[in-house]
Amino acid sequence: KTKNFPDGVFLCPCHLSIYDEAGKVIDGPAPRPLDVLPLQVDAGGELKIIDVEYKAGVNNQIRLL
Global pTM value: 0.69
Residue 11 φ/ψ, nearest 5 degrees: -100, 115
Report pLDDT digits (tens) over 5-54: 778 889 888 889 999 989 999 999 999 999 888 999 999 999 999 989 99
Between the CA atoms of 51, 6, 26 and 56, what dihedral angle is there, to the nearest 10 degrees? -20
Contact 22, 48 (CB under 8 A): no
What is the C-alpha radius of gyration for the chain, rounded to an integer number of angstroms? 14
In 1-65 the beta strands, taken as DSSP E runs, fall at 9-11, 18-20, 25-27, 39-41, 47-49
